[in-house]
Every structure is written in structure tokens, then in C-alpha cells.
Structure 1
Amino acid sequence: MTKNSLTDLHLLVWTALMAAAIGAGAYLIVPIGPVPISMQPFFIFLAGYVLGARRGALAVGLYLLAGTIGLPVFAGGKSGLGHLLGPTGGYLFGFMVSAWLCGLAGHHERVIPWIKGLAFGAGALLTAYAAGAAWLKFALGLTWYKAWLAGVVPFIPWDAVKVVLALLCVRYLARHNLLPGQR
């Protein structure tokens, strides 16, 4: 195998690993209403930071595909197209854009700068919240205010912590040359 094919294989393994971690994060939940608090966002942000925009979104896409075909990887061990199109579907689709945005923070840099990483993480959160609250509003027939209260407000502090933790993890991995593509 050539060096490029080994690097490609390494990135492929990391992409699959991050998709699996997102699925595992779905089992770590606190059920507080129609949208549970889970560790999925942490792994989604981490996938973007670690793999970059394209591969981070690909990892989330792989996770969504696994859940759609019937693997129990959605929150609470659920799966299927019905769940993907249910009340939490907007968040699931928003997660793909969230990983892409985190990946734009500069995974190719030696260590992602704090301000840049946090700014892109905040953008990722806003994207997931916007898609999720809009979908929740229409799926459950809520007002915008109720969709915001049920689908965004309870998650803001938890998800902000997850962005910071994901950024800490990727900075640690970068400093110790453990990221894919690093030597």
C-alpha cells in the first residue's frame, strides 16, 4: 500500500468510528420531553473538528443512513425512516450541517484556535437548533415560541458544554499527533 492509500484508509476508519460514536451517544440520554438530551451533539461536533467539513458531514450521513435502514442508533435506540421524519428529524438533518460547520474551523491546522473553534461551534449549534425547532413546530403543530421553549432552551447550556469539550478533545488529540492525517 502506498502512503496515500494508507492515509485514505485511516480517514475512512476514523469516519466510520465517528459515525459509530454518534450512534453510541444516542444511548446516553436524559429524556426531558419530545427531544431528549443526548451525547450525540458532542460526537457530531467532534467529528467535524477531527475530520473536517466534508468527512465530518459524511460521518453524520453514515450515521443517518444506519438509522434509516433499521439499526437502532437514534435516541432511545430507535430507528427507521419514520423516526427520521418524526419530531426530532430536523435536529438529525441539522446535525449534518453542524458537523460540516465545525469542520470549517480548521481541522487541518496544528491546533484549532479557541475563538475560531468556539465561533464555528456556536454556528453549528444555531444551525441544529434552527432546523430542529422548525421541524418540531410543524411536526407537532406548535407555535414558534413553544417549539423554541421545548426544543432549544433546555439544551443551550448542555450543548455549549459539549462544544467546549469537543474542542478540548480535538486540541488534545492534535497536540499528541493522534488525529487522522497527522504524523
Structure 2
Amino acid sequence: MTSRDLVLVSLFTAIIVALGILPPIPLAFSPVPITAQTLGVMLAGLVLGRKRGALAVLLLFVLVAIGLPVLSGGRGGLATFVSPTAGFLIGFLPAAYVCGAFAEQAAENQSPLRQTVGFFIAAIAGGIVVEYFLGIAWLAFGVGMGISGATAASIGFLPGDLIKAGLAALAARAVMLGYPLLPKKAGSSADL
């Protein structure tokens, strides 16, 4: 890993933390609030690729584990990994990886529209499908809400998360135009 990679990973960890400054929006029907941090997770995967995007989230986990208040609402500490939001929090890591894996494939398209749509699909695959799967599973089994209750409680996040996926796709496309950071095909020196 180069010093450039370290800087990029740290930068996107800082972006995820900064998005946590926005206050969480509590929902009456769910113990999990709406936050902006999933946008940062999507961006990390889409802009940095699967490995560096996942490393940015892993660094966030280290900061949370040592007790820094870097999560939305000023939360931090080991207790957050067993709270009602733990499934969504743990989901950040595979979400960033999946977003990055799909984005690396989408980056190979030369058409701007196809690339943007590919980034949007990547954001949905990681930032919504993977994130919801783990979040709903934790709410259902870890918190005891049951599958139907956890699913119903999570549906309220979908419109906002689709907007976040669209914003992340547009931002990733803009970065690709001006300063492409996604790794090249396997075997390239730019790949991690």
C-alpha cells in the first residue's frame, strides 16, 4: 500500500465521519435513525474501489472501537457493535466492498451514461442490498423484532437511500472524469 493509498483511505474515513456530524433523524417505527453516513460508505466504495473503500470503513471501525464519537449522534465505543444499529454499522464494511467491486466493473465502460448507471447500480447493490440484509438480520434476530417487523421498520429508509445512491453515483462519475481513483484491471500496478 502506497502513501497515496493511505491518504485516500484516511480521507474517505474522514468523509464518513463528517457525514456523521449531520444529526440523525429518528423514526417512530424503528430503533435505527436515518443518517448520512451510508452516503460516505457508498462514496468510499465507488470512488476508491473495493479494497481501499473497505479499508476506509475498517479504519472507521477502529475509531469507533476505541471510543471516539465518530458515528452519527456522537456515538462511539464497543457498545455500538451490539446496539440496535449494529447490523447496519457492521454492514458498512461489506457494503463498501461490494460498491467498490461493482464500481470497478462499471468504470470500464466508456459511455458516460453507462458508467453513471453502473455506479448507481453499484451503490444500490452495496449500500442498499448488502446494508439492508445485515441490518434487517440484526434487527430480526439480535434485537428480536422478527423478520417481518425488521423489514417493515427498514422500508422507511429506502427512498432516502435511493437518493443517496444517485448522489454517490453522480459524485463518483465526476471524480472519474477529473481524477480517476478506481484501480485498473487486475494485474495493473495501480491495483491494490
- TM-score band by shorter chain is 0.7 to 0.9
1:62 to 28, 44, 59: 59
- TM-score, length of structure 2 as denominator length: 0.83
What are the ranges of 5 or more consecutive residues in structure 1 without an aligned counterpart?
Answer: none
Equivalents in 1 of 2:116, 2:18: separation in Å?
27
Equivalents in 1 of 2:125, 2:156: separation in Å?
18
- Offset at residue 105 of structure 1 (A): 2.4
Equivalents in 1 of 2:100, 2:119: separation in Å?
9
Is 1:53 matched up with 2:56?
no
- Secondary structure in 2 aligned to 1:132? helix
User: Given residue 146 of structure 1, which amino acid in structure 2 is its aligned partner?
Assistant: G
Does the CA contact (< 8 Å) of 1:90 and 1:131 recur in 2? yes
Match of 2:136 in 1: 133
Match of 1:154 in 2: 156
Equivalents in 2 of 1:131, 1:27: separation in Å?
24
Does the CA contact (< 8 Å) of 2:9 and 2:55 recur in 1? yes
- Secondary structure in 1 aligned to 2:166? helix
Deviation per CA, 1:54-80, whole angstroms, max 9, x where unpaired?
110110111011011100012211111
- Secondary structure in 1 aligned to 2:16? helix
Equivalents in 2 of 1:148, 1:23: separation in Å?
27
User: Given residue 98 of structure 1, which amino acid in structure 2 is its aligned partner?
Assistant: A
Does the CA contact (< 8 Å) of 1:60 and 1:99 recur in 2? yes
Tell me the C-alpha RMSD between the 2 structures. 2.1
Equivalents in 2 of 1:123, 1:178: separation in Å?
21
Q: Give the total of aligned pairs.
A: 175
- Offset at residue 173 of structure 1 (A): 1.4
Equivalents in 1 of 2:181, 2:131: separation in Å?
25
Is 1:31 matched up with 2:26?
yes
Relative to structure 1, is the Cα distance of residues 67 and 50 closer, same or farther in structure 2, using a 3 angstrom cutoff? same
Higher deviation after alignment, 65-74 or 8-17: 8-17
Equivalents in 1 of 2:181, 2:124: separation in Å?
23
- Offset at residue 178 of structure 1 (A): 6.0
Equivalents in 2 of 1:146, 1:179: separation in Å?
40
Q: Please give the residue correspondences for 1:3-152 in structure 2 after superposition, counting only pairs within 5 Å.
A: 8-28=2-22, 29-32=24-27, 33-107=30-104, 109=108, 113-124=115-126, 125-150=128-153, 152=154
Percent identity between the aligned chains?
Answer: 36
Does the CA contact (< 8 Å) of 2:66 and 2:77 recur in 1? yes
Higher deviation after alignment, 104-113 or 161-170: 104-113
- TM-score, length of structure 1 as denominator length: 0.87
Does the CA contact (< 8 Å) of 1:94 and 1:131 recur in 2? yes
What are the ranges of 5 or more consecutive residues in structure 2 without an aligned counterpart?
Answer: 185-192
